[in-house]
A and B are shown apart, each in its own frame.
Chain A
Amino acid sequence: MAFNYFTFWIRTAALFLFRSGRSTLALSLMVMVAVATLIFLSALAMGVNDTMILNSVGLYGGHISGIALPSAIQPQRLQVNGTTAILKRTVFPGALACGNRNQRVNLIGVDPFAEKKYTAIWKKTIDGRYLRNNENAVFLSQTLAEGLAVKVGSMLRFSSEISDTPVELVVSGIYQTGIDFFDRGLAFCPHTAIPHHTDTWLAAVFVQEGYDPDTIIAEYRSTLPAGLEFKSWKELMPDLVQLIELNYLSMSIVMVLVFGVVSVGIACAFVIFILKNMREYGIMKAMGVTSPEMTLLILGEVVLMNLLACGIGILAGVLAVYLAGQSGIDLSGFTSHNRYFVVSGVIFPRLTPYSLVIPPALAIFFSMLSAVWPTVLVARKKAADILRIV
């Protein structure tokens, strides 16, 4: 088929669509709403995943954890392209005591200024305040505080397993996260509050958006001495990885189901739309239009209508995502007891190539599928039969 014939049939299809305005509009609206809805839903799913990751890595651990790093490795050596911050932590196993009460604890030495800048555990303060640099203070969980019967301002004594000299610390603040790991047996103090020396330290590496933690770990392995242990959040939180994968899977199923259902409506509408023009196709066939040309015309109508509807649907979906992304969608009321939303339950929908491409692709696929039967019907029917019936 020559090129000018192709353009002629596509142009004729466009005229058919344009001049049957109301039918085209009604059908387009259906496709448009479905595409816009799915774009928004998939962006919302991305936003939920983002929030879960952000909450999980942003609360304390970072995207990469460096475990038991030797003191000879300075935090600056972990600063590579794609990292935003390297937080140094030292662990002092020991016991906190107040009067005759004591609790076993892992006291974490931190840099309070950097921790407050890059992590969110300080936001979980329920009494008092977070730590300040160079003060002899401790920031501990509510469970520990209850066990020791202390409150903000109380004086505690910390006895480390690595030193016989106890250290006195004042309670600066009490927190509660709802996560057992943080709420039981963990407390924080500035590095300077504990004079003891440790041979190893922990690193929390924060990574810029768009950078893959595994790539950065690979770089560490190639540039740093062998034997150092680094784990990405994916290794440390396989349950979160599964949850995210489940979320993707659920969204894909929702997309197919939604379009499966919508396609039934679209199919009915397309059948009506195509059969409505049956007389036109009969006239054309009587004039010598071939079945392939007729198929090209009908599929041209379907594709053009879908391109138009998908284009508007994408714009509408992007606009909805943009508007929702301005202030986020606050789901705190539904996530307050969930560890993956421990810092914030505000979802910021995020568009991805996946969320922009899959819904229109599904729309076109299902529309084409639904156009098969009426197209075959028109292509196979004799002109005389069509003109006799219609």
Chain B
Amino acid sequence: MIQLESIHKTFPSGRGFVNALKDVSFVVEKGSATAVVGKSGSGKSTLLNCIGGLERPDKGSIACFGRDILALSAKALSTFQRQSVGFIFQHGNLLSYLTVSENIAFPLTLNGIAGNPKTERVKMLLERIGLSAAAKALPHELSGGEIQRVSAARSLAHSPRMLLADEPTASLDTDTGKNLVDLMFEIGREQGCTMIISTHDPEIWGLADKTIYLRDGEKLQEEP
């Protein structure tokens, strides 16, 4: 279970401080999928960053699977991130100097998985995303959809307990986006992964177990 309580986050800007998140609280059940919906600037990305430990809220608490991640040391937080979190970014954010298979293998290596298990895992994921033939390709040789599929495979390679996807379909056309969402949910659900996805995409709302609406950093509504 992921539990957020009264999260506040402000950023300094040229016009003073911007309240990115204001008193946001909700609970995500283990193994469920939650869609975070809101306009641009509503605080979706900041919220995901706070849950993933990339951003530290000014106030509030975040407990992930029983651990208060705000109380973790830098080293423990890194260990938590590399073991328990998978990130999918809006533009894929693949490591541009690594090939497709090296990108997917990266979190496995970080978690000490080597040799045959790593090779087999990468091979299986490449087959699942339909990019076995592009294993040795570099990111700049891939299309936007392919990049996002590799990003999804990379984020789930080490079987994290939590997948955080920040508008994964935003830069994709409808069909490509749908394929990615299907793939993401398919692998995520198989692995029992808790998914939190920020999106504008109704396709994702439909597949999610819960939807949280944000506006100007505040939680407007939660369904169901």
Q: Which residues of A contact B (CB under 8 A)?
A: 4, 8, 12, 15-16, 19-20, 277, 279-280, 283-291, 382-384, 387
Contacts and interface: CB of A to CB of B under 8 A. Distances in A.
13 contacts: A4-B114, A15-B102, A19-B97, A280-B95, A280-B96, A283-B94, A286-B81, A288-B79, A288-B82, A382-B55, A387-B54, A387-B89, A387-B93
A15 B89 CA distance: 23
Given A4-B114, A280-B97, A290 B74 contact: yes
A92 B150 CA distance: 96
Contact of A287 (B74, B97, B107, B138): B107
Contact of B81 (A16, A279, A288, A291): A288
User: Which 3 pairs of residues, A with B, have the shortest CB-CB distance?
Assistant: A288-B82, A288-B81, A384-B54
Interface in B86-121: 87, 89, 93-98, 102, 106-107, 109-110, 114
A294 to B, nearest CB: 10
A290 B93 contact: no
B162 interface: no
Dominant secondary structure of chain A at its interface with chain B: helix
A291 B87 contact: no
B54 A286 contact: yes
A19 B103 CA distance: 14
Looking at B54, B79, B96, the one whose CB has the most chain A CB atoms below 10 A away is B54
Nearest to B166: A387
B54 A8 contact: no
Given A15-B102, A283-B94, A288-B110, 6 more contacts: A4-B114, A286-B54, A286-B93, A287-B107, A290-B78, A387-B89
B92 to A, nearest CB: 10
Contacts of B10: none
A288 B80 contact: yes
A151 B87 CA distance: 99
A361 to B, nearest CB: 28
Given A288-B83, A384-B49, A20 B107 contact: no
B37 interface: no
Interface residues of B, number: 28
B54 A383 contact: yes
A288 B97 contact: no
Contacts of B97: 15-16, 19-20, 277, 280
Contacts of B81: 286-288
B102 A287 contact: no
Given A19-B97, A20-B97, A287 B110 contact: yes
B88 to A, nearest CB: 11
A277 B75 CA distance: 23
B99 to A, nearest CB: 9
Contacts of A15: 97-98, 102
Interface in B30-66: 49, 52, 54-55
A68 B96 CA distance: 80
A8 B74 contact: no
Interface string B148-187: 0000000000000000000000000000000000000000
Contacts of B69: none
A319 to B, nearest CB: 32
Contacts of B89: 283, 387
A288 B74 contact: no
Contact of A284 (B52, B74, B95, B102): B95
Contacts of B94: 283
A287 B87 contact: yes
Contacts of B107: 287-288
Nearest to B154: A287
Contacts of A387: 54, 89, 93
A265 to B, nearest CB: 24
Contacts of B52: 286
Nearest to A8: B109
A384 B48 CA distance: 10
Contacts of A288: 78-83, 85, 107, 110
